[in-house]
Structure 1
Amino acid sequence: MKAVVVHSAGDLRLEERPVPQPGTGEVRLRMTHGGICGSDLHYYLDGRVGNFVLRGPLVLGHEVVGTVDLDPSGNLSAGTPVAIHPATADHTCPECEAGHTNTCRNARYFGSAASEPQTQGGFAEQMVVRQDQLRLLPDGLDLARAVLAEPLGVALHAVNQAGDVRGKKVLVSGSGPIGVLVVAAAAARGAAEVTATDLQDTPLEVARKVGATQTIRVDREPVPELSYDVAFEASGSPQGLNAAIACVVRGGTVVQVGSLPGGDLPIALSALVAREITLRGAFRFVDEIDEAIQLLATDDRFQHVVTHTFPMSDVSEAMEVAGNAGVSSKVVLELS
């Protein structure tokens, strides 16, 4: 079978790998679609994601869907369409026992160098997963849209971290793929207003299509300070976090969902005390992928998030387009 494998920074190959065989409690899938995430781009461009450094060849991809190819248990018929929860937790650590499996200290995640050994991903023609990681897709949900289940799960978890957003004024700083999904999630959850910001026109166009009531090009006009009940920082930049803190009202909430760079950062935190602002992090998701699948099946706004689709053979071009926020939102690979 063919798989998309990164060997080091800038060294991305489409190579042959053996077809995997499922063991007890496992299912082999025929993969159909894979969304390119920022972490996939970082492994390709930099050979690392933050502190997680490549230690050998890694099959990329964790935003993946497909159909059942072989289930030795006989529970699932061949051809059954599924999404995949890409994480496995140990369910024994204090985080898991508290219900926070997304922060499990021993978690593994598809297409990640965070664990030892590295966890191979799903940008391949076939892959084997644990049966409990599969999510059956409802009738009528196309696999080409279901590929958004994982990143939408991330967005929904971020909204959950903010609490109830019904009737509230919401700011989303950064309108990349996760940012626009946060826009859509907040709108679907009943936010009264959702303002999206970015430095590019294309992301803001997508944000409007999925539910933003206002968009702001932050290089051309300021974002009103002390104006929002909740702010989601999705750009992963210190400047974006500073702006989010400045823009929420007294007693407001800021959720950091974008991945900030490591090391010491210039963040103005004094307002957290003076205005009693709540600052929360949002990391991956627990089980919000289940709600994501239902939303994708019932809400047409998500059709606007995928802007480009490439065959797996054109993965290098797909990566270049995915890295250009001025022309793309979510870029998807057709894996078979």
Structure 2
Amino acid sequence: MRGCVIHAADDLRVEELPEPVAGPGQAVVAVRYGGVCGSDLHYWRHGGVGDFLLREPMVLGHEVVGTVVGYGAGAGGPAPGTPVAVHPATPCGACPECLDGRAHVCRDTRYLGSAARTPHVQGGFAARIAVPAGQLRALPAGLGLRRAALAEPLSVALHAVRRAGPVEGRHVLVTGAGPIGSLVVAALRAAGAAAVTVTDLLPRALEFAAAAGATALVRAGDPADPGLPAEVDTAIEASGSAAGLDTCLRLVRRSGVVVQLGMLPPGMSPFAGNLVVSREIELRGSLRFDAEFDEAIGLLAREESFDALVSAVLPVEQATEAFALAADRSRSCKVLLDFGG
């Protein structure tokens, strides 16, 4: 079967892999679509994500949907043939964070397509994968696999909105209109935000944010753009840049909340810490998600507007082209690999 394997920076290969066999407690899924994520692009471009460096070949991918093939001993779940989304995390269930109900920050989690541990956790960019049966989520009637492929990144966005606290009736700033930033816009509108201002350097990215429901668009770095508000109630930084964080800190109201969702570069990043003190701003981090995965599936089933954020679908044989397209935000939002089911 075909799989998408990263060997080193700039060394992405579509290879023939052995068919998986469901072990005890596992299910085998025939993957149809896999979304190319920013972390996949980091492995492709740099050979690692932050401190997590490739030490062996690894199947990429953690945004995958498909249909159930079968189960191993002691496992059960949706019937074979059922369309499912795959939750990519397997928390340990025993660390202090898991026991405190915060499994998304588990210190010993296994995440599909991650080099955080050795041996690496192989990912979902393969025609068939074996995963713990408890990670399967049956799709509601009417939710197609193409749109359902957004479940994982939408879960990330929903968790960030939850970290922001109440947003109903409020004005929220989002810096960065990539796939995650645009999904944050959709999550904010679903949560009742009255206004969502989005900034980005690229006009095409702002078009995707508008499709997601942004009420105001601002070309970042353009002094002629009058769109920036004087103040917002809440800000979510989704660009992963120090400049984006600075904008959030300077525009959020006194005692407001800033959520850092975008992954900043490794090492030290400058930020206006004096404003955190003098204006008593709450700066909160946001990592992955947990129960939001089920919420995301429900939201995708209700809203057809998400279809506009899937900008391209390419067959797995064109994986390198798909990654190059996903890395070019002037041309794309969410790019999917098609494994043919």
TM over 0.5: yes
Task: Give ranges in structure 2 of 5+ residues lacking alignment.
Answer: none
Which contiguous aligned blocks of 4+ residues in structure 1 show a shift greater than 3 angstroms? 72-76, 222-226
1:253 is aligned to 2:257: yes
Instruction: Spell out the pairing of 1:52-131 with structure 2 (5 A cutoff).
Output: 52-72=52-72, 73=75, 75-131=77-133
1:177 is aligned to 2:179: yes
Q: Is the 8 A contact 1:31 1:335 kept in 2?
A: yes
Secondary structure at the aligned position of 2:319 is classed as helix
Task: Tell me the amino acid that sits aligned with residue 31 of structure 2.
Answer: M
1:313 alignment partner in structure 2? 317
Task: Tell me the amino acid that sits aligned with residue 296 of structure 1.
Answer: L
Q: Is the 8 A contact 2:216 2:227 kept in 1?
A: no
Q: Distance in 2 between matches of 1:75 and 1:43?
A: 33
Q: Distance in 1 between matches of 2:165 and 2:131?
A: 32
2:213 alignment partner in structure 1? 211
Q: CA RMSD in A?
A: 1.1
CA drift at 1:75: 4.5
1:273 is aligned to 2:238: no
Q: Distance in 2 between matches of 1:74 and 1:217?
A: 50
Question: Percent of pairs identical after alignment?
Answer: 51
1:136 is aligned to 2:138: yes
Q: Is the 8 A contact 1:225 1:248 kept in 2?
A: no
Q: Distance in 1 between matches of 2:106 and 2:243?
A: 29
Secondary structure at the aligned position of 2:189 is classed as helix
Task: Tell me the amino acid that sits aligned with residue 133 of structure 1.
Answer: Q
Q: Distance in 1 between matches of 2:318 and 2:288?
A: 28
Secondary structure at the aligned position of 1:27 is classed as strand
Task: Tell me the amino acid that sits aligned with residue 291 of structure 1.
Answer: E
Q: Deviations over 1:203-236 (max 9, x none)?
A: 1111111110010001223664651111000000
Secondary structure at the aligned position of 1:69 is classed as strand
Q: Distance in 1 between matches of 2:239 and 2:211?
A: 19
CA drift at 1:18: 0.6
Task: Tell me the amino acid that sits aligned with residue 49 of structure 1.
Answer: V
CA drift at 1:74: 5.8
After TM superposition, the score normalised by the length of structure 1 is: 0.98
Q: Deviations over 1:96-151 (max 9, x none)?
A: 11111111100110000012221000000000011111111000000000000000
After TM superposition, the score normalised by the length of structure 2 is: 0.97
Secondary structure at the aligned position of 2:265 is classed as coil
Q: Distance in 1 between matches of 2:316 and 2:268?
A: 38
Q: Deviations over 1:65-93 (max 9, x none)?
A: 01011224564322110001100111111
Task: Tell me the amino acid that sits aligned with residue 191 of structure 1.
Answer: A
Q: Is the 8 A contact 2:217 2:227 kept in 1?
A: no
Q: Distance in 1 between matches of 2:290 and 2:127?
A: 27
Q: Is the 8 A contact 1:71 1:77 kept in 2?
A: no
2:4 alignment partner in structure 1? 4
Task: Give ranges in structure 1 of 5+ residues lacking alignment.
Answer: none
Kindly tell me the number of residue pairs found equivalent between the two proteins.
336
CA drift at 1:303: 1.1
1:243 is aligned to 2:247: yes
